[in-house]
Chains A and B, each alone.
Chain A
């Protein structure tokens, strides 16, 4: 099972927006509305930011939003803040053979 494809890096100035893509196949991202996104600061555990493509857990700022079109999901961080600088990973359910697959990860830099 191949990892979902994300750009290695993305950046933006404070207050700007950044969008990260997550490309899979019809067997994972395209086949299920079970895409989630995780934020990971250095030396820390990942934190769930988005689930079921576009839903935010309690406590996650509404600056974080998710969407999906075909086999590609996206995470948008609006109004970038310094604390948003982190690695971001997408994940998708991939059916009863492969179950879960993660993305390659994107490092977001706040300029």
Chain B
């Protein structure tokens, strides 16, 4: 079955760029009509949708983060990536990648990766 695994630095300094990768295993990232998404969750708080990408490279972002977010896809590596620029401590969170179905359901999630923004 399809599985997702996030990876990247656990500590990022303020004003720098947060970069994460989500590797898809157990199936091709290009199979089916799915979007691939990033969601984050600060400790003890709720979920926040960051953005989504299709395997064509088409992206959509949360309007509150749009100016700082870039998502990309590498179909040869079965990976999607997230970059968040000019980070502050408010960006400290668990970052999840997830698959979105055509019915707007996040049906498969990675285990999440903790990112702390601190000097």
Give residues in A with beta carbon < 8 Å to B.
1, 3, 32, 34, 36, 38, 44-48, 51-52, 57, 89, 91-93, 96-105
Interface residues on B, range: 20 to 34
- Taking a contact as CB atoms under 8 Å apart, the answer to whether B112 and A1 are in contact is no
Known: A98-B62, A102-B47, A104-B46. 12 other contacts (CB 8 A): A38-B106, A44-B111, A45-B96, A46-B47, A46-B106, A89-B46, A89-B47, A100-B37, A100-B49, A100-B52, A100-B104, A103-B46
Contact A98 B46 (CB under 8 A): no
List B38-93 residues whose CB lies under 8 Å from chain A. 39, 46-49, 52, 60, 62-64
Residue contact A99 to B109, C-beta cutoff 8 Å: no
A105 to B103, CA, bound (A): 21
Q: How far is the CB of A14 from chain B (nearest CB, A)?
A: 27
B54 to chain A, nearest CB (A): 12
Q: What is B's interface to A at a CB cutoff of 8 Å?
A: 37, 39, 46-49, 52, 60, 62-64, 96, 100-101, 103-107, 109-112
> Hey, which chain A residues are within 8 Å of B109, CB to CB?
45-47
Which residues of A have CB within 8 Å of B96?
A: 45-46
Residues of A within 8 A of B100 (CB): 100
A105 to B39, CA, bound (A): 15
Q: Give B51 Cβ to nearest chain A Cβ, in Å.
A: 8
B106 touches A101 (CB 8 A): no
CA distance in complex: A32, B103 (Å)? 10
Contacts of B64 in A (CB 8 A): 1
Can you list 30 residue pairs at the A/B interface with Cβ under 8 Å? A1-B62, A1-B63, A1-B64, A32-B104, A34-B105, A36-B105, A36-B106, A44-B111, A45-B109, A46-B47, A46-B96, A46-B106, A47-B109, A48-B105, A51-B107, A52-B103, A89-B46, A91-B104, A91-B105, A96-B60, A97-B63, A98-B63, A99-B49, A99-B60, A100-B37, A100-B49, A100-B52, A100-B104, A102-B47, A104-B46
